[in-house]
């Protein structure tokens, strides 16, 4: 694709954003703590560094009133917000400094004063076809074409928000095709088999989560023995016959487990190798995501901007996170911890954390595939909630962005996100009331009714 394939209005907004930044010596950047937010902030940070600008990057776990007040009180004359901001455009409008918002979440309004770029403004779905890292990357190449080498980071952000599952579309296609043409990304055939040393990956991988195998040393040994695959074999070293046998056995186990055909097809998705990083986009995404989730976002930013020591530490954090996530999912996979309501299913993650990641695994591998999954961490005064759905649920009218927005607001909290993945926060003491309300909201959505 060429620039002409991007909407002219978007190009104009990005050009304006670049001009705004060129007029300032210092820029304050705010972003989200997940893989998309970390990659978006890394891309912007690298672009600012190359432009000779001073900058500071601040990472938030979400954007609620408490953190919005921090942004509003900044002494900086120029602010860039990535992977956040769509719900607060009206407040950004009132700020006296220059504000640039590069987000992809559901629109709550446009702005004449804020330099605002969001895929939804151009008829592109920000849930599937343009993430925060995508928008940050488009800004970066508006600053300087040399920043095309940051496309692999954008690809990691795309993978982090799982926008690659059904292939590239929308603004992501522009990034992907341009990067492939430049040799920055190489597509690889998909497989049900996890990438890496098979025994090690099966021990800590939750995608796929294979009951009786994942996290189970004896189960892993039996599976590999049945497939005729040595335990020390790496994914890239499998023969065609070994790959077929192992894939078939994994597929049978997952089908017996009740995993949907939709998920099996998703598992066999194309992978994207990043030559300059010597890893694939999903792995890089996981490294950076683990930094944010373990409250070490600065390590993630450093890794994203190319610091080798930070990247090494990010890989170590990722290994630790995946082990902890495996323990968390094994606790939930006991037949009792996932509580079924009429229209939703939910679990308490107060003792384990990793709420959003556990939510995705429960939704895909061990929960009821017909009900959205809600995870709640009520370990502090304010509870954090995550929700995950499936595309088949969306086809039935379910919209988790609206469910979280309305459900959190009904108990005095705040929420939002995407139709298929959303979250929010509210007072922990309101948990049961929140769940009752969200169950009713999802029920109305399925019936095609709007809240009165």
Q: What is the pLDDT of residue 4?
A: 45
Q: How confident is the model at residue 420 (pLDDT cuts 50, 70, 90)?
A: very high
Q: Among candidates 420, 290, 293, 415, which has minimal Cα distance to 349?
A: 293
Q: Do domains 3-188 and 339-446 have the same CATH topology?
A: no
Pairing outcome for strands 339-340 and 414-417: unpaired
The DSSP result for 327-377, as a single string, is: HHHHHHTTSSSSEE-SS-EEEE-TTT--HHHHHHHIIIIIS-TTS-EEEEE
- Cβ atoms of residues 120 and 107 within 8 Å: yes
pLDDT tens-digit map of 352-378: 888 999 999 999 999 999 999 999 999
Cα(first)–Cα(last) distance of the chain, in Å? 45
Count Cα neighbours of 108 within 13 Å in the Cβ-side half-sphere: 19
- For residue 449, the model assigns a pLDDT of 52
Give me the chain's average pLDDT, please. 94
Boundaries of every domain in the chain: 3-188, 198-267, 339-446
Taking only the tens place, the pLDDT of each residue in 60-89 is 988 888 999 999 999 999 999 999 999 899
Q: Is the per-residue pLDDT at 274 higher than 80?
A: yes
Among the listed residues 268, 34, 26, the one whose alpha carbon sits nearest the alpha carbon of residue 164: 268
Q: For residue 163, is pLDDT > 80?
A: yes
pLDDT of 452 reads 44
Model confidence at 111: pLDDT above 50: yes
Q: What is the pLDDT of residue 450?
A: 46
The mean per-residue pLDDT over the stretch 170-188 comes to 96
* Percent of the chain with pLDDT strictly greater than 90: 86
CA distance 335 to 366: 9
Confidence of residue 2 (pLDDT cuts 50, 70, 90): very low
Q: Output b/e per residue, 61-88; b: 16+ Cβ within 10 A.
A: bbbbeebbeebbeeebebbbbbbbbbbb
Confidence of residue 253 (pLDDT cuts 50, 70, 90): very high
Closest CA to 435 of 399, 401, 411: 411
**Given phi > 0 = left and psi -120 to 50 = alpha, else beta, which region is 52?**
left
Are the C-beta atoms of 348 and 319 separated by less than 8 Å? no
**Does position 1 have pLDDT exceeding 70, yes or no?**
no
Which pairing describes strands 279-280 and 271-274: parallel, antiparallel, or unpaired? antiparallel
In the prediction, which pLDDT does 451 show?
45
- Structural contact between residues 178 and 151, judged by C-beta atoms closer than 8 angstroms: yes
Q: Is pLDDT at 153 greater than 70 in this prediction?
A: yes
The arithmetic mean of pLDDT across residues 44-59, rounded, is 98
Whole-angstrom distance, CA of residue 363 vs CA of residue 376: 14
Give residue 5's pLDDT.
84
The strands making up 382-388's β-sheet, listed across from edge to edge, are 339-340, 345-348, 373-377, 382-388, 421-427, 414-417
Q: For 306, phi and psi rounded to 5 degrees?
A: 100, 10
Between CA 238 and CA 222 the distance in angstroms is 17
What percent of the chain shows pLDDT beyond 70? 98
pLDDT per residue as tens digits for the range 310-345: 999 999 999 999 999 999 999 999 878 999 999 999
How far is the C-alpha of 101 from the C-alpha of 117, rounded, in Å?
A: 6
Give the contacts of 220 (CB within 8 A, at least 6 positions apart): 199, 202, 203, 213, 231
Distance CA(103)–CA(136), nearest Å, equals 8
- Record the pTM: 0.85
Q: Is the peptide bond before 39 cis (omega within 30 degrees of 0)?
A: no
Alpha-carbon dihedral angle through residues 327, 420, 345, 338, given to the nearest 10 degrees: -10
Question: pLDDT (tens digit, 9 = 90+) per residue, 17-29?
Answer: 999 999 999 999 9
Domain 339-446 has CATH 3.10.310.40: yes
Sign of CA dihedral 268, 274, 278, 282: negative
Architecture of domain 3-188: Alpha-Beta Complex (3.90)
Q: Give the per-residue pLDDT at 166.
A: 85
Question: What pLDDT is recorded for position 182?
Answer: 97
The whole-number pLDDT of residue 95 equals 96
Does an H or E element contain 390, and which?
none
pLDDT digits (tens, 9 = 90+) for 207-249: 999 999 999 999 999 999 999 999 999 988 999 999 999 999 9
């Amino acid at each position: 694709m060429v620039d002409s394939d991007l909407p002219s209005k978007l190009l104009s907004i990005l050009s304006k954003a670049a001009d705004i930044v060129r007029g300032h010596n210092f820029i304050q950047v705010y972003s989200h703590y997940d893989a998309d937010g970390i990659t978006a902030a890394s891309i912007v940070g690298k672009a600012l560094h190359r432009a000779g600008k001073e900058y500071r990057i601040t990472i938030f776990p979400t954007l609620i009133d408490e953190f919005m007040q921090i942004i509003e009180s900044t002494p900086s004359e120029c602010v860039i917000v990535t992977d956040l901001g769509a719900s607060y455009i009206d407040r950004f409008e009132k700020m006296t400094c220059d504000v640039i918002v590069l987000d992809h979440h559901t629109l709550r309004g446009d702005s004449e004063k804020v330099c605002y770029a969001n895929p939804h403004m151009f008829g592109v779905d920000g849930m599937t076809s343009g993430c925060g890292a995508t928008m940050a990357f488009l800004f970066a190449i508006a600053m300087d074409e040399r920043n095309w080498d940051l496309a692999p980071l954008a690809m990691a952000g795309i993978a982090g928000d799982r926008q690659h599952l059904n292939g590239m579309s929308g603004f992501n296609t522009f990034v992907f095709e341009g990067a492939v043409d430049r040799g920055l990304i190489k597509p690889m055939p998909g497989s049900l088999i996890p990438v890496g040393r098979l025994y090690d990956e099966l021990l800590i991988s939750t995608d796929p989560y294979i009951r009786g195998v994942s996290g189970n040393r004896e189960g892993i040994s039996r599976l590999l023995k049945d497939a005729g695959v040595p335990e020390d074999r790496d994914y890239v070293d499998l023969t065609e016959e070994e790959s077929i046998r192992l894939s078939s056995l994994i597929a049978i186990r997952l089908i017996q487990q009740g995993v949907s055909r939709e998920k099996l097809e998703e598992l066999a998705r194309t992978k994207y190798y990043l030559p300059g990083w010597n890893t694939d986009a999903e792995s890089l995404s996981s490294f950076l995501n683990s930094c944010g989730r373990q409250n070490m976002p600065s390590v993630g930013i450093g890794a994203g901007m190319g610091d080798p020591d930070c990247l090494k530490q990010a890989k170590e954090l990722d290994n630790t996170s995946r082990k902890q996530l495996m323990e968390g999912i094994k606790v939930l996979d006991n037949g009792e911890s996932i509580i079924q309501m009429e229209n939703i299913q939910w679990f308490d993650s107060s003792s384990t954390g990793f709420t959003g990641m556990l939510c995705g695994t429960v939704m895909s591998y061990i929960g009821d595939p017909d009900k959205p999954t809600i995870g709640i961490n009520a370990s502090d005064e304010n509870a954090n909630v995550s929700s995950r759905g499936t595309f088949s649920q969306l086809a039935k009218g379910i919209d988790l962005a609206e469910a979280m927005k309305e459900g959190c607001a009904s108990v005095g909290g705040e929420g939002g996100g995407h139709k298929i993945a959303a979250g929010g926060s509210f007072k922990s003491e309101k948990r049961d009331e929140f769940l009752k309300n969200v169950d009713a909201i999802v029920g109305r959505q399925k019936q095609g009714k709007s809240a009165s």
